[in-house]
Structure 1
Amino acid sequence: MSVSEKIRNKLIHSLGPERVEVIDESHLHAGHAGAREGGESHFRVLIVSKQFEGASRVARQRMVNSILREELAGPVHALAMKTLTPQEFAKEE
């Protein structure tokens, strides 16, 4: 299973999101520190979940970091995230 699939599965299992997008941006960092041969080291995620309601941006990011603890300690060098409630996401559309 690829790193992006692991990230997606863990987020779905833990947060039950209405929407989750996992984008591998490793190709943008080729040759930089932390870039792995073959990619799957730099990701951008969008997560829309009711579980974020009432939580600050920092608290939401901590939730995601906790869920992805193993990946962040290993193959993932960088993770950019956008964490929204369904109401916040609807305003952006």
Structure 2
Amino acid sequence: MSIQATIEDKLKALEPTELVVENESHMHNVPPNSETHFKVTLVSERFVGLMPVKRHQQIYALLADELSGPVHALALHLYTPQEWASRGAPRPDSPGCMGGGH
């Protein structure tokens, strides 16, 4: 199973109403077909009442193995359904890589 698929599978534990895991490795100075840089957009009722740091901690706990190994960077965009509904854009754009890219 790919790292991306593993991340998607593990994040289902948060019962997301929206889940997008994007492999952004190609935007960085890494070998072709790498799975090292990801952006996660996740919407879940489980985030209601939680500050952003607590939301991030939930993700870090679920992805501890990936973060201690192959995943070098993980951009998290975590919302409650109400926050998601009030957003104008579907997902934030990622900034350009400062370390070189393709």
Taking structure 2 as the reference length, the TM-score comes to: 0.82
- 1:36, CA displacement in angstroms? 5.4
Equivalent in the alignment of 2:23: 24
Of Structure 1 and Structure 2, the greater helix share is in: 1
Amino acid at match of 1:19: E
Question: What is the match of residue 11 of structure 2?
Answer: 11
Q: Share of identical aligned residues, percent?
A: 42
Q: CA deviation at 1:38?
A: 2.9
Q: TM-score, normalised by structure 1?
A: 0.90
Give me the CA root mean square deviation. 1.1
Cα distance, 1:64–1:50 mapped onto 2, change above 3 Å:
same
Partner of 2:62: 67
Q: Which runs of 4+ in 1 moved over 6 A?
A: none
Contact 2:11/2:59 (<8 A) preserved: yes
Structure 1 unpaired stretches of 5+:
none
Q: 1:36 to 1:55 in 2, by over 3 A?
A: farther
Task: Give yes or no for contact 2:26–2:32 (8 Å, CA) kept in 1.
Answer: no
Q: Deviations over 1:13-49 (max 9, x none)?
A: x10100100000001112xxxx456310000000000
